[in-house]
Structure 1
Amino acid sequence: MRFIGSGLFSVIAAASLSGCATTEQTSSVAAAEPRLDTQSGPVIGSREGESGSVNVFRGIRYAASTERRRFQTATDPAQWSEPLPAKSFGNECPQPPQPDVPVFASWANSVGTSEDCLFLNVWTRGLSDGKKRPIMVWLHGGGYVTGSGSSNGYDGSRLAERGDVVVVTLNHRLGAFGYSYLAGSTDDPKYADSGNLGSLDIVKALEWVRDHADEIGGDPDNVTIFGESGGAAKVSTLMAMESARGLFHRAIAQSGSMSLAGFTPRLATPLAKDLMTTAGTNSVEELAAMPMEDLVTAAIKSRSRGAFYRPVVDGRSLTRQPYSPDATPVSAGIPLLVGTNNNEMRLQGGLGSPENFLLAWEQLPEKLAEFVPEGTAEEVIAGMREAHPDYDASDVFFQVATFRNYRGTALLQAERKSEQNASVYMYRLDWQTPVEGGRLQTPHALDIAFVFDNVARSTSFTGPETAETQRMADLMADAWIAFARSGNPNTPELPQWPAYDVMNRATMIFDTTPEVVADPDGAERQLLQRLLPEGRSL
Structure 2
Amino acid sequence: MAMMVRFSDTACHSRTKEAVPMPAVPSGAVGRQPARRPRTTSSPLRSILGLVLAAAVLTAVPPTGASAHAVQPGKDPTLVHTTLGPIVGRDEGRSSGTYSWLGIPYAEPPVGDLRWRAPKTHRSWVDVRRTQRYGSGCPQPGRFFSPSPNGPFYDLAVRDGLQQPVGEEDCLTLNVFRPSTPKRNLPVVFFIHGGSNVVGYSADPMYDGRELARRAEAVVVTVNYRVGIFGWLNAEGSAAGDPLSASGNFGTLDLVNALRFVDQNARKFGGDADNISVMGQSAGAVNVWSLLVSPLARPMVDKAIPLSGGLSTRSVADARAYADRVMQAAKSDHPSSDKNGLDLLRSLSADDLVRVLVRHRLDATPAVIADGTVIPSDPYAVLESGVGRDVPVLAGNTLEEGKLFGSAIAAHKPSDYDRFTLQYLFDPDNPGDLTPSDLLKDEYLPVDKPQGWNEAAAALTEAVFTGINRESLNALARSGNRSLYHYRFDWNQQPAPFDQVYGAVHAIDLPFVFGNFGRSVFSYAFSQQNQPGRLRLSDLMIASIRNFVTKGSPQHRGLGRTWDQWPTSLVLDADDRHVHLGSTTDR
TM-score (norm 1): 0.78
- 1:194 and 1:288 mapped to 2: Cα distance? 17
1:59 counterpart residue number: 103
1:314 counterpart residue number: 371
Secondary structure, counterpart of 2:506 in structure 1 = coil
Query: Aligned letter for 2:369?
Result: V
1:529 counterpart residue number: none
Query: Aligned letter for 1:62?
Result: Y
Whether 1:412 and 2:471 are equivalent positions in the alignment is yes
1:394 counterpart residue number: 453
Question: Does the Cα contact within 8 Å between 1:178 and 1:194 map onto a contact in 2?
Answer: no
1:170 CA displacement: 0.6
List aligned pairs for 1:271-290, cutoff 5 A: 271-280=322-331, 281-290=339-348
- 2:285 and 2:323 mapped to 1: Cα distance? 25
1:283 CA displacement: 3.8
Change (3 A) 1:192 1:73: closer
Question: Does the Cα contact within 8 Å between 1:185 and 1:269 map onto a contact in 2?
Answer: no
1:530 counterpart residue number: none
1:496 CA displacement: 3.4
Give unpaired runs (5+ residues) of structure 2: 1-73, 147-152, 332-338, 415-435
- 1:412 and 1:516 mapped to 2: Cα distance? 23
List aligned pairs for 1:430-469, cutoff 5 A: 430-435=490-495, 437=497, 438-439=499-500, 440-457=502-519, 460-464=523-527, 466-469=531-534
Query: Aligned letter for 2:404?
Result: L
Over residues 114-146 of structure 1, what are the superposed CA-to-partner deviations in whole Å (9 max), with x where a residue is unaligned?
21111000001269x672100001100001110
Whether 1:342 and 2:408 are equivalent positions in the alignment is no
1:113 counterpart residue number: 167
- 2:136 and 2:496 mapped to 1: Cα distance? 32
Change (3 A) 1:52 1:473: closer
Aligned length: 459
- 1:404 and 1:50 mapped to 2: Cα distance? 46
Q: CA RMSD in A?
A: 3.2
- 2:346 and 2:491 mapped to 1: Cα distance? 46
1:8 counterpart residue number: none
Whether 1:80 and 2:125 are equivalent positions in the alignment is yes
1:456 CA displacement: 3.9
Higher RCO (CA < 8 A, seq sep 6+)? 2
Between the aligned residues of both structures, percent identity stands at 27
- 2:385 and 2:527 mapped to 1: Cα distance? 42
1:10 counterpart residue number: none
Change (3 A) 1:436 1:142: farther
With 331-340 and 454-463 compared, the bigger mean Cα shift is at 454-463
List aligned pairs for 1:371-382, cutoff 5 A: none
2:48 counterpart residue number: none
- 1:262 and 1:138 mapped to 2: Cα distance? 20
1:261 CA displacement: 3.1
**Residue of 115, 125, 137 corresponding to 1:70:** 115
Change (3 A) 1:155 1:334: same
Whether 1:515 and 2:581 are equivalent positions in the alignment is yes
Secondary structure, counterpart of 2:268 in structure 1 = coil
Secondary structure, counterpart of 1:275 in structure 2 = helix
Secondary structure, counterpart of 1:169 in structure 2 = strand
1:499 CA displacement: 4.3
Change (3 A) 1:214 1:31: closer
Change (3 A) 1:227 1:130: same
1:308 CA displacement: 3.0
1:370 counterpart residue number: none
**Residue of 109, 122, 125 corresponding to 2:176:** 122
Query: Aligned letter for 1:494?
Result: L
- 1:123 and 1:400 mapped to 2: Cα distance? 38
1:328 CA displacement: 5.8
Whether 1:46 and 2:90 are equivalent positions in the alignment is yes
Change (3 A) 1:483 1:100: closer
1:389 CA displacement: 9.8
Question: Does the Cα contact within 8 Å between 1:482 and 1:488 map onto a contact in 2?
Answer: yes
- 2:144 and 2:486 mapped to 1: Cα distance? 32
Question: Does the Cα contact within 8 Å between 2:281 and 2:306 map onto a contact in 1?
Answer: yes
Change (3 A) 1:433 1:509: same
**Residue of 410, 413, 429 corresponding to 2:489:** 429
- 1:411 and 1:493 mapped to 2: Cα distance? 27
TM-score (norm 2): 0.72
1:50 CA displacement: 5.1
Whether 1:500 and 2:565 are equivalent positions in the alignment is yes
Secondary structure, counterpart of 1:426 in structure 2 = strand
1:488 CA displacement: 0.5
Change (3 A) 1:270 1:509: same
- 1:36 and 1:339 mapped to 2: Cα distance? 34
- 1:169 and 1:42 mapped to 2: Cα distance? 19
2:19 counterpart residue number: none
- 1:200 and 1:186 mapped to 2: Cα distance? 16
Over residues 164-215 of structure 1, what are the superposed CA-to-partner deviations in whole Å (9 max), with x where a residue is unaligned?
1000001011111110012x34462247335111011001001000110110
- 1:67 and 1:243 mapped to 2: Cα distance? 23
Question: Does the Cα contact within 8 Å between 2:247 and 2:373 map onto a contact in 1?
Answer: no
Secondary structure, counterpart of 2:121 in structure 1 = coil
List aligned pairs for 1:465-480, cutoff 5 A: 466-480=531-545
Change (3 A) 1:323 1:70: same
1:261 counterpart residue number: 312
Over residues 206-230 of structure 1, what are the superposed CA-to-partner deviations in whole Å (9 max), with x where a residue is unaligned?
1000110110100001000111111
Change (3 A) 1:52 1:455: closer
1:250 CA displacement: 0.6
Change (3 A) 1:443 1:289: same
1:52 CA displacement: 4.6
Change (3 A) 1:343 1:131: same
Change (3 A) 1:161 1:91: same
- 1:389 and 1:301 mapped to 2: Cα distance? 36
List aligned pairs for 1:289-300, cutoff 5 A: 289-300=347-358
- 2:412 and 2:296 mapped to 1: Cα distance? 44
Over residues 219-259 of structure 1, what are the superposed CA-to-partner deviations in whole Å (9 max), with x where a residue is unaligned?
001000111111111111111100002112111111122xx
1:18 counterpart residue number: none
Query: Aligned letter for 1:470?
Result: L
Question: Does the Cα contact within 8 Å between 1:140 and 1:148 map onto a contact in 2?
Answer: yes
Question: Does the Cα contact within 8 Å between 2:118 and 2:245 map onto a contact in 1?
Answer: no
1:441 CA displacement: 1.4
- 1:49 and 1:322 mapped to 2: Cα distance? 45
Change (3 A) 1:456 1:100: closer
1:448 CA displacement: 0.4
